[in-house]
Each structure stands twice: as C-alpha cells, then as structure tokens.
Structure 1
Amino acid sequence: MKNYDVVIVGAGPIGLNCGIEAKKKGLNYLIIEKGCLVNSLYNYPQNMTFFSTSERLEIGDIPFISNNLKPTRSEALEYYRRVVLYFELNVSLFEKVVNITGTDGQFEIETSKGHIQSKKVIISTGFYDIPNWMNVPGEQLAKVLHYYKDPSYFAMQKVVVVGASNSSVDAALECYRKGAEVTMVVRNTEISHRVKYWVKPDVENRIAEGSIKAYFNSEITEIQDNKVLIKSPEGEVEITNDFVLALTGYQPDFNFLKHLGITLKGENSYPEHNPETMETNRKGIYLAGVVCGGMDTHLWFIENSRVHAEMIIEHISEI
C-alpha cells in the first residue's frame, strides 16, 4: 500500500495549487480526481467567459496569458493543463475517493482503484457536482437539464431558463441568439446584481424589448412533456415548451463531508474549520476552496481561495 504525507482530493485549480505548495515543501503527495483534470471547469458552458481577469486565476506564479482581459473556459483548461505539466504534479485522474478512515497521521483512503495511506488529507472538491433541485413534478423528464453546454443544441426550440444568475443569463442570451424562443423564470424581482457587469445590461435590454420573455417573482410548479406551468403574480401561466434549463445553482457533496465526520453548521451547512489553518474538526483533514462556504457557494472563488494552499501546507509542514 502506497504511503503519502498528504493526499489532496480534487484536481481543480485549488487542489492543484495545494499540490504545487506540497511539492515546494518537499512533501510526498498525491492529487486524486474522480473525473478529468479540472473537472468542474471542463463541465462549464463551452462559451463561458470568466468574471475574473486572467492574473487572478494564476497558480504557482505561472503567468496566465489570455487573448482578452477576461479568459475563456478553453483558455483556462489549457492553462491549468500546462501548469500540471510544468510542475510535473502527481495526479491520478478518473479515480474516486470512496471513504477515509483512520486518524491524524494514519489515514487510510479507499478509492475506486484501491487503498492508499496518508498522514494528512486535503478536501478540495468544489461544488459543481450536485444541482439544487426545484422539487417540482416533471423535473425528472429528459427535457429538463441542470447543466448547460452549447446553445446550438436548442436552436429553434422553446426553452425555459430558470434563474437569474450568471449561468442562467448566459444561457438565455446564447440560446436566444441561436434562434431559440427563450422564457426566463425568476424567483426574485430582477436579474441578480452578481451577473457580470458587461452582460447584465444586455439581458435587461432583451427583456425590455420583448426578445426574451421574463416572469419575475415567479416559479415553475409543474413540467409536462410539451408545456410548463408557472406560478406568477398574474396567476398561473401555461406555456408550450421543448426544454427546461434549470440552472438553479449547485452545492458541495455534503453527504461526503458528513460521512468523513466533518461538522456542518447552520442552515447554510458551513463545514467546521479553523480559518487560520483550514483544518476541520476532524484533526488532520483540511478544506480548500469553494467547499469551505457550504451553500454560500459565492463566498469563495479561485481568486480568493488560492491562499488556502499556502495556509494548509504551511501548517502541515510545521507539525
């Protein structure tokens, strides 16, 4: 059985940064990822542009050069791939962590490929794997999608987009420009203030001119094969429909965290950890990245959680 000083669960940007810092300190480490490299970024919409500028997404002091001020998904995928090659990071892809037993200094990690041992464990699993369900009749129909990739798929279709966040607005605009008849269903009174500043006026203008129909203070009550029922301030609305893009957000794998013995606090399920060391209530297990924010997935991004890697590895090295 292989032994490591630290095992890092998740090969997203923050997990990779933890690996870089571990290597700098001369630690024997392994990064384990259940999917492909930077799996969450790979599953982002194909045409996505980051809110952050490229230098705020850099790790390992490696410059991130993009064609425009805001990098694209494809540029980010290529950047992080090159970072892995540059540092020759020890990464195992398409290997899922099933369980972690043992205690600080003697953890045994069961994966889909076998068993390994590690003195310390870092959980950097992000939040993109589990959608926030609407819990309405018909949500299990094949026409309902919680992930959005390419607008061309929805050309000349009647599409309902649920939500008013960045992902919802991007999907609505892109589908509209590919010839879809787009209807947005928004629980709040307006488009979210967190929407990218250069995109928000665009969608608001499309709504104002009637190119995109929007129901505010509204929610879907039922989805059927060829229509959707909407509860709105004007009463129940029934519209003909081909696809529903339920882009209602995502959440960390709380069951996995609870299974590891990590305490979740409050209605937003904040994982218990020391903000100075990132160590959880289970000694020897640390958190890094967006997973630290529980249901408040907007609290941590690549740009403001890169520091977690240095904090964790520094604490591990001092022990």
Structure 2
Amino acid sequence: MSLLDIVVVGGGPIGIACGLEAKKKGLSYVILEKGPIVNSLFHYPSNMQFFSSSEKLEIDEIPFISKEAKPKKDEALEYYRRIVTSNKLDIHLFEKVLNVNKIDSSFIVKTNKAEYTGKNVIVATGFYDLPNLLNIPGEELEKVSHYYDNPHYYAGQKIAVIGASNSAIDAALECWRKGAEVTLIVRGPEVGQRVKYWVRPDIINRIEEESIEAYFNSTVKSIKEDSIEIINSKGETTSIPNDFVLALTGYKPNFKFLKKLGVNLSNDEKKLPEYNQETMETNVKNLYLAGVICGGMETHKWFIENSRIHAKMIIEAILDKK
C-alpha cells in the first residue's frame, strides 16, 4: 500500500478543489466520495438556482459559463463533472469512508471498498447528509421528508412545508405553482431574511393574497396520517388536513465523525470545530477541514463562494511543512 501525501474525504466542489490543487503542486492524493461526483449537489432540488453568480462558484479560475447570471443545478453538475474528467482527477466514487485512524505520523483511511494510507487528511464532507430532526411524534411516517426534489410529485395534494429558509420557500412556491395546497409553518415571526432577494417578495405576496397559508411563531406538535397539529407561541393548537410534510429545517455536519477523528468542538450550541484559520489544520496534526463543515451549526457561514480558498490554504500549509 503506497503512502499518499493527501487523502481527501468528500468529492464536492471544495473536495475537488483540494484534489486539483494537490495535483497542480505534484502531491499524490485521492478523493473519496460516497456517491456520484458532487453528491450533495446531485441531491439538491431539480429546479434549484444558486444564490451566487457563476463566477463565484468557479474553481481555480476555470470559467463557469451559465445561461443566466445565477446558474441552475444541472449547469453546476456539468461544470464540476467536466473539471473532474478533463483534469483526470483521481476520485473514487460510491466509496464511503467508514473509519479514519491515525497511527504514528500517518492516517489509515478505510472505506467500503479499500484502505488508504495518507500523510495528511482533508475532511470536506459538508453537512447536507444529516437533517435537523423535529423529534416529534409521526416524524417517521412515510409522508414526511427532509429533502425536496420535484414539485410534480405534490400536485393536487395538501402539503405542509416547515421552515423559512431558501429550501423551504422554494419548495412552497414551486409546489403551489404546480397545484398543491400549501401550508407554510415558520418558527419565527417572518420569512427568513436570508431568503434569496428575488424570491422573498414572491412568497410574501403569495401569503398576503392567501394563496399560501402561513402560520408564524408556530411549530409542529405532531404528524398524523391525514393531518398535522401545530402549536403557536400562545400555546394554541391547530389541526390541519395534510397529505405530505416537507420538513426543510436545515442540516448539520457529521459531528460524530469529527469527534471520532479527535477534532475538538466548542461546548456551545454552535459546535464549532477547532482549526487554525490560516492553515485550516485542526487540533489533530495533519488533519485539515475545508468547506462548509468549518462552520459547525452555523451552516450559513461557509459556502462554495467563500470557502473555495481553503484548497490553496491547505496545500500551501502542507508544502510548507515538507
């Protein structure tokens, strides 16, 4: 088994950027991705449009040409796939990392298919795989989903969308436009301020004209086969007829995996991982973090646009050590 300079865990845009930078600098590497290329992006909603413009999603100044200023999901899939294939990056797809052990000065990375030894490990796994659960009765029902893909599925149905972020608002509007009867349930007093600026007025207008029914300052108390029960800040309970529930309440990094690696997390609700902001190296020597995983529960803090620089920072830190 050869000793690699770098093992990258995660084949999303930032993991790809790390592999590309490693190859440019002549370092041996492998990228391990548990699904297809940019697995998380692949599972985004079919009609998703990025908040960032295409040039801010570029890796290594490779041009990203899109039909509109803000690209759609399919355009991003095409862009990142072409980077991988045209640069012949060493990426192993549908290979899930099961365990990472540090023995002396190297890491043993075991997957469902093979085992790798690396001097350095970069964790670029994002947070899209673990939804924030509601932890309420009925959440396990088949009608409940924490992911949304295509509005056609919900046409003619009574659907409750839980959340006030971009994913929830996009789902509510798209499903309503395809003929669903949509109820929006928001924990706070208003639609989230971070909702895309061209979408937020749309949902507000649909709520004001009563095309979409919205319950603010409310949470879901329980979910039943044919209804949901919500409770507001006054303690008042309302039962709403319902066919499907989209609980789009956000996602979180795999903290269990980080702890197993030995990465320290802050003791507050943010669970921020410990790392050097100049090198991205964690408290575990030669173990680095890249991308949105650096933000802990502050999942709005890092995204492709501002974390693509992590690749260069990490590779430079590794080269400085050599």
TM value normalised by structure 1: 0.99
Instruction: Please give the residue correspondences for 1:117-266 in structure 2 after superposition, counting only pairs within 5 Å.
Output: 117-233=117-233, 235-265=236-266, 266=268
User: What is the aligned partner in structure 1 of residue 89 from structure 2?
Assistant: 89
Contact 1:155–1:179 (8 Å) recurs in 2: yes
Matched residue SS, 2:45: coil
Q: Which runs of 5+ in 2 are unaligned?
A: none
Q: Whole-Å Cα distance in 1 between the matches of residues 280 and 89 of structure 2?
A: 22
Question: 1:104: Cα distance to partner?
Answer: 6.5
Q: Determine whether 1:314 maps to 2:316.
A: yes
The structure-2 alpha-carbon separation of the partners of 1:280 and 1:103, relative to structure 1 and needing over 3 Å to count, comes to farther
String of CA shifts for 1:245-272, please: whole Å, max 9, x gaps: 0000000111011111111113211111
Of 287-296 and 105-114, the range deviating more from structure 2: 105-114
Q: Determine whether 1:275 maps to 2:271.
A: no
Structure 2 counterpart of 1:245, which letter? L
User: What is the aligned partner in structure 1 of residue 67 from structure 2?
Assistant: 67
Q: Whole-Å Cα distance in 2 between the matches of residues 37 and 104 of structure 1?
A: 32
Matched residue SS, 2:140: coil
Question: 1:105: Cα distance to partner?
Answer: 3.7
Structure 1 counterpart of 2:299, which letter? T
Q: Whole-Å Cα distance in 2 between the matches of residues 229 and 107 of structure 1?
A: 49
Q: Whole-Å Cα distance in 2 between the matches of residues 155 and 74 of structure 1?
A: 23
Question: 1:133: Cα distance to partner?
Answer: 0.4
Contact 1:103–1:284 (8 Å) recurs in 2: no
String of CA shifts for 1:17-38, please: whole Å, max 9, x gaps: 0011101110000000011110
User: What is the aligned partner in structure 2 of residue 25 from structure 1?
Assistant: 25
Matched residue SS, 2:221: strand
Matched residue SS, 1:17: helix
Q: Whole-Å Cα distance in 1 between the matches of residues 2 and 192 of structure 2?
A: 48
Structure 2 counterpart of 1:298, which letter? H
Q: Whole-Å Cα distance in 1 between the matches of residues 151 and 17 of structure 2?
A: 32
Question: 1:87: Cα distance to partner?
Answer: 1.3
Matched residue SS, 1:270: coil
Q: Which runs of 5+ in 1 are unaligned?
A: none
Contact 1:104–1:119 (8 Å) recurs in 2: no
Matched residue SS, 2:173: helix
Contact 1:10–1:123 (8 Å) recurs in 2: yes
Structure 2 counterpart of 1:34, which letter? K
The structure-2 alpha-carbon separation of the partners of 1:289 and 1:174, relative to structure 1 and needing over 3 Å to count, comes to same
Matched residue SS, 2:78: helix
Q: Whole-Å Cα distance in 2 between the matches of residues 301 and 250 of structure 1?
A: 13
Structure 2 counterpart of 1:169, which letter? I
Of 197-206 and 96-105, the range deviating more from structure 2: 96-105
Contact 1:147–1:245 (8 Å) recurs in 2: yes
Structure 2 counterpart of 1:257, which letter? L
Contact 1:14–1:309 (8 Å) recurs in 2: yes
Question: 1:113: Cα distance to partner?
Answer: 0.8
Q: Whole-Å Cα distance in 2 between the matches of residues 102 and 207 of structure 1?
A: 54
Matched residue SS, 1:205: helix
Of 264-273 and 297-306, the range deviating more from structure 2: 264-273
Question: 1:103: Cα distance to partner?
Answer: 4.3
Q: Whole-Å Cα distance in 2 between the matches of residues 22 and 268 of structure 1?
A: 31
Matched residue SS, 2:245: strand
Of 88-97 and 105-114, the range deviating more from structure 2: 105-114
String of CA shifts for 1:101-122, please: whole Å, max 9, x gaps: 1246411111111211010000
User: What is the aligned partner in structure 1 of residue 15 from structure 2?
Assistant: 15
Of 102-111 and 287-296, the range deviating more from structure 2: 102-111
Q: Whole-Å Cα distance in 1 between the matches of residues 43 and 246 of structure 2?
A: 15
Matched residue SS, 1:94: coil
Question: 1:2: Cα distance to partner?
Answer: 3.4
String of CA shifts for 1:141-191, please: whole Å, max 9, x gaps: 000000000000000000000001000000000000000000000000000
CA-based RMSD of the aligned residues comes to 0.9
Matched residue SS, 1:238: strand
Question: 1:3: Cα distance to partner?
Answer: 2.3
